Amino acid sequence: MTNPSQVGTPIEAESLQYKDEMIGDFGTPVHLEDSLPKPLAHFANAVDRVSEISGKLVSFLILILVGVILTEIFLRSVLNAPSIWAYDVSYMIYGTVFMIGSAATLRYGGHIRTDIFFSKFSEITKAKIDIFFYLFLFIPGIALFFWVGLEKTIHSFTTNEHGALSPWRPIIWPFRAVIPLTAALLILQGISEMIKRLGAFSARGKK
């Protein structure tokens, strides 16, 4: 299925390097076991890739945020003419970055958990705890979050809602859409995490 020449495409080779260097001491990602059935493994892999790419895409917004702030400082202190848009653009970028980035953070095991007991459990116990968590708490909860977020977005779109925090009054629905988009990415990544945890059982079966 995965022949080596395909794996060697620039993007993929690069993200393999990221795996080692990017995270450093941040987070404890769950590794994909070889013993998992192929379709499951491919699905988890694909989802992980989607999350990584979404995280990388929003990471460039941080650079844009720096640019926006510098521009605003220049306009205000040098030209004495502050913009009406910098305030809104700032929080919109920041809000988008941390929300969309949460799926990538989940993929790298970056959402903190108290590991005073967890780190001492066996792989099987960890897997049971995580699968229970994702199945009964995470996925239903985030699904509701998706649903209500989507409703708000549609409402915002149909009523042509404008921002109220500044005189610029930008159209708001694209920013509202960040909530359901985040929830959708999180649900996918949650399923992938569950599949990866299943690896603990299939690995035991092999031994």
Q: What gap in Å lies between CA 7 and CA 158, rounded to an integer?
A: 44
Please state the closest distance from residue 140 (CB atom) to another protein, in A.
Answer: 7
Contacts of 198 (CB under 8 A, 6+ apart): 36, 40, 127, 131
Smallest separation, CB 3 to another protein (Å): 27
Q: How many CA atoms lie within 13 A of 62 on its CB side?
A: 9
Which CB atom, from 8 or from 18, has the smaller least distance to another protein?
18
Q: Give contact residues for another protein (rule: CB under 8 A).
A: 18, 21-27, 55-56, 58-60, 62-63, 65-66, 68-70, 72-73, 87, 90-91, 93-95, 97-99, 101-102, 104-106, 108, 110-119, 121, 126, 129, 133, 137-138, 140-142, 144-145, 147-149, 152, 165, 175-176, 178-179
Residue environment code for 53-85, b if the CB has 16+ CB neighbours within 10 A, otherwise e: ebbbebeebeeebeebeeebeeeeeeeeeebeb
Q: How far is the CB of 96 from another protein (least distance, A)?
A: 8
- The 10 Å Cβ neighbour count of residue 207 is 5
Distance CA 38, CA 30 (A): 17
Instruction: Select from 152, 144, 133 the least CA-distant residue to 194.
Output: 133
Closest approach of another protein to the CB of residue 110, in Å: 5
Nearer to another protein, 3 or 20 (CB): 20
Task: Tell me the CA distances in angstroms from 22 to 16, 51, 78, one per residue in order.
Answer: 10, 15, 38
**In the complex, least distance from residue 144 CB atom to another protein, rounded to whole angstroms:** 6
Nearer to another protein (CB atom), residue 61 or residue 203: 61
Shortest distance in whole angstroms from residue 1 CB to another protein? 28
Q: 153 or 199: whose CB is closer to another protein? A: 153
Nearer to another protein by Cβ, of 35 and 87: the residue is 87
CB of 179 or CB of 188, closer to another protein: 179
Nearest CA to 201 among 4, 40, 74, 8? 40
